[in-house]
Amino acid sequence: MNRYSTEDIQAAADGDNQQFLVFSLGEEEYAIDILKVQEILGYENVTRIANAPDFIKGVTNLRGIIVPIVDLRIKFNLDKVEYDGQTVVIVVNVSDRIVGIVVDGVSDVMTLTPDQIKPAPELGVTMSADFLSGLGSLENRMLVLVDIDKLLTSKEMALVEQVGE
């Protein structure tokens, strides 16, 4: 059985086309809603936070605001995790919080029509389908559409203090 967020499908249908920022993690292409993106930075000067999960690289100074940096490559168990000139941080704004996510590179901005967005299949262990809003199909490319809000506020990411913790 396929699971997908009906809300997102609905939103896409109502608002016609949706714009996504496409980024790469290893060989795969992912995309997030462009409206969540605040800016894109190079990866530098991250201060480690002790006793945090290893995919939380630490915090950085974004013009006076302390912003946590999450490496999605580590989170998604990619084999190759390197920090070089290509490594970028996408600063996203979710649930009134500012979080930086480290990815291998940002390729482009895509506009998807509602019929280009297919429901996401149940995936393996890497990423629970809860955090996907669908798959975008474009000629010969396939984009994994990530629900960045849900992903970053999830308990798994340990970014937000959960009630009762």
Interface residues with other proteins (CB under 8 A) are: 45, 47-55, 58-61, 63-68, 97-99, 155-156, 158-161
> In angstroms, rounded to a whole number, what is the distance separating the alpha carbons of residues 109 and 113?
13
> In angstroms, rounded to a whole number, what is the distance separating the alpha carbons of residues 30 and 21?
8
Cβ distance to other proteins smaller for residue 21 or 67: 67
CB of 117 to other proteins, least distance (A): 27
Cβ distance to other proteins smaller for residue 67 or 103: 67
Question: Helix or strand or coil: residue 56?
Answer: strand
CB of 116 to other proteins, least distance (A): 31
Cβ distance to other proteins smaller for residue 74 or 135: 74
CB of 156 to other proteins, least distance (A): 5
CB of 75 to other proteins, least distance (A): 9
Closest CA to 158 of 40, 57, 81, 26: 57
- Enter the DSSP assignment of 47: B
CB atoms < 10 A from the CB of 87, how many?
17
Cβ distance to other proteins smaller for residue 10 or 47: 47
Q: Is 158 left (phi over 0), alpha (psi -120 to 50) or beta?
A: left
